[in-house]
Amino acid sequence: MFRQCSGLLAAFSLGILVLLPLSALEAEAEVGVEVVEETAAAEGAEAVGKSPAEQELAEMRAELERLRLLQDLREARLRDRIQESQMEIQSIEAELSLAAARRRAELATMEAEQERLQAVGALQEARQQAEMLQQRLAQKHRQMEFQLAEIEMQGEALEHRHIQRQRERESAAFEHAQQLRQQSLTDTKFAMQQDELKLAALEQRQMAEAVIATGPERLAEPFVDGVLHISDRRIDLNEPIISGTGDWIARRIAFFNNESPQDPIFLVIDYCPGGSIMDGEIILRAMASSKAPVHVVVKNLAASMAAIILGDAPHSYALPNALIMHHQPMSYTFGNLAQQKEWVRLFENWAHRIHAPTAERMGITIEEFYARMYEQSVSGDWMEFADRAQELHWVQHVVREIREDNVRRRPEDPSPYQAYWGSWSSAKTATGERIRLPRPRALDFYFLYNSDGRFFIGE
């Protein structure tokens, strides 16, 4: 193969040299031709004076010499190129020889690796045969053990069949008992399902009974024959009036107005000790601007700002034993004398604004109103029950009954005693259990039978 490649390269190189264009060879021989022409020109100069035949002969000789030299030059250059091509071919042959040697070395390495792999394969095959032999021996050993175990099992099977027959008899008896138990269980489940259906029906009936399907009646005149009917348009005021309480009440009055501008709105005061003048003023303005009539109701106590809200309401009511209390506003201030004087002026202005309507309804001045407060109490806290408060024009109506028509669902919340039991401390003493009661609210008292000293207040 290497010789074939070398011959092809040589023939290819010679073909390239032979196929070179004549114009290129003629261009290379121009220098020699110029030399011959110069020689012919010199000889022509020497032949001046010769005959025409001699001159023509001399020119022909010169032309012949020029052509011969041109041919020699072409042959010499062709030989040089052939020699260069041969040298290049020899270089290529050397490279091919080197590549062939490398390939033979690689082939030898591959053959050695193949022999090594064959040897490894033979070793693995021998090992596999040894393993297969061991497996056959182990299999024969297992077969013998299996045959022995089979013989033992046959003996055990005879005993097992005897036991199996006995168990079958026992199983039949057990299945019969199980069927009886299953039947009893089915009957019990059916009875339980019947009870669950009855319980569900009872719960549904109780739920239906716990909710009154019809909505509360909204009377245009809710006070009828001494009875006040409170509808579902109810707002509770059962806490001190603090910052934000006024807006909280005003937004609910606005909601009920947007719902219906005709139906009454009820502001129910169970126990309110009063509070912020500014937030109380917000409540007064909300009641005054309400298109729907606002009815204020007191069940237990309306003191201070709550008493002002009750008295200034367009419609006011109180239970006979409800307490209503008025007193001068109180404040806690600090500062220099000038600041205190400014604060007193502002305070007097507020007092005039909130108490002037009450004094006017009573037909007296504010100064007389304040004087009568201290006539009634050394602290200036003037409190009256609702029947006396009605005479003083602190409330418009004393009701003998309040009907909460808005309660349409049975109450299920725990009683206050049950709800707060965990927060009250109790202790076992030598004399028995003792229970600490919470301190009663202002103007409230415990009317409690406590002969055994079980209940106590304080430490």
Cβ-contact 306, 246 below 8 angstroms: no
User: What is the chain's length?
Assistant: 459
For residue 426, the one-letter residue type is S
Q: Dihedral of CA 222/228/231/237: which sign?
A: positive
Q: For residue 237, is it left (φ>0), alpha (ψ between -120 and 50) or beta?
A: beta
Cα gap 457→436, rounded to integer Å:
6
* 304 counts as catalytic: yes
Q: Are strands 401-404 and 227-230 parallel, antiparallel or unpaired?
A: parallel
Q: Where are the beta strands (DSSP E) in 22-121?
A: none
Parse the chain into domains and list their residue ranges.
2-122, 223-404, 416-456
- Token pair of 43 as six digits: 């000889």
Assigned CATH class of 223-404:
alpha beta
> Which class for 358: exposed (0-12), middle (13-18), buried (19 or more C-beta within 10 A)?
buried
Give dist(CA 199, CA 186) in Å, integer. Answer: 19
The confidence score (pLDDT) of residue 17 equals: 39
Beta-sheet strands, E only, within 250-349: 265-272, 294-303, 315-318, 323-326
Over its length of 459 residues, how does the chain's per-residue pLDDT go in tens digits? Answer: 444 444 544 444 444 333 344 444 445 445 554 554 565 555 555 555 668 888 888 888 888 888 999 888 988 898 888 898 889 888 888 888 898 888 888 888 888 888 888 888 888 888 888 888 888 888 888 888 888 888 888 888 888 888 888 888 888 888 888 888 888 888 888 888 888 887 777 766 656 555 555 667 788 899 999 999 999 999 999 989 999 999 999 999 999 999 999 999 999 999 999 999 999 999 999 999 999 999 999 999 999 999 999 999 999 999 999 999 999 988 777 778 888 888 889 888 989 999 999 999 999 999 999 999 999 999 999 999 999 999 999 999 999 999 988 776 766 767 666 666 655 666 666 667 778 887 888 888 777 878 777 778 876
Rounded (5°) CA angle 301-304-305: 105
pLDDT on residue 234: 94
Could you give the CA distance from residue 193 to residue 381 in angstroms, rounded to a whole number?
66
Burial 327-352 (b: 16+ CB within 10 A, else e): bbeeeeeeeeeeeeeeeeeebeeebe
> Which one of 231, 304, 315, 316 is the catalytic residue?
304
DSSP string spanning 189-206?
HHHHHHHHHHHHHHHHHH
> What's the token pair of residue 66?
């020029």
Q: How far apart are CA 249 and CA 256, in angstroms?
A: 11
Which helix (H) or strand (E) segment is 235 a member of? strand 234-236
Portion of the chain with pLDDT greater than 90, in percent: 34
Is-catalytic flag, 327? yes
**Which residue, 324, 317, 312, is CA-closest to 296?**
317
Query: Going edge to edge, which strands form the sheet with 426-429?
Result: 426-429, 432-436, 455-456
Cβ-based neighbours of 286, under 8 Å, separated by 6 or more: 246, 249, 250, 253, 254
Alpha helices in 363-428 (DSSP H): 366-376, 386-391, 416-419
Residue from 229, 315, 326, 327 carrying the catalytic annotation: 327
Q: What is the pLDDT of residue 47?
A: 52
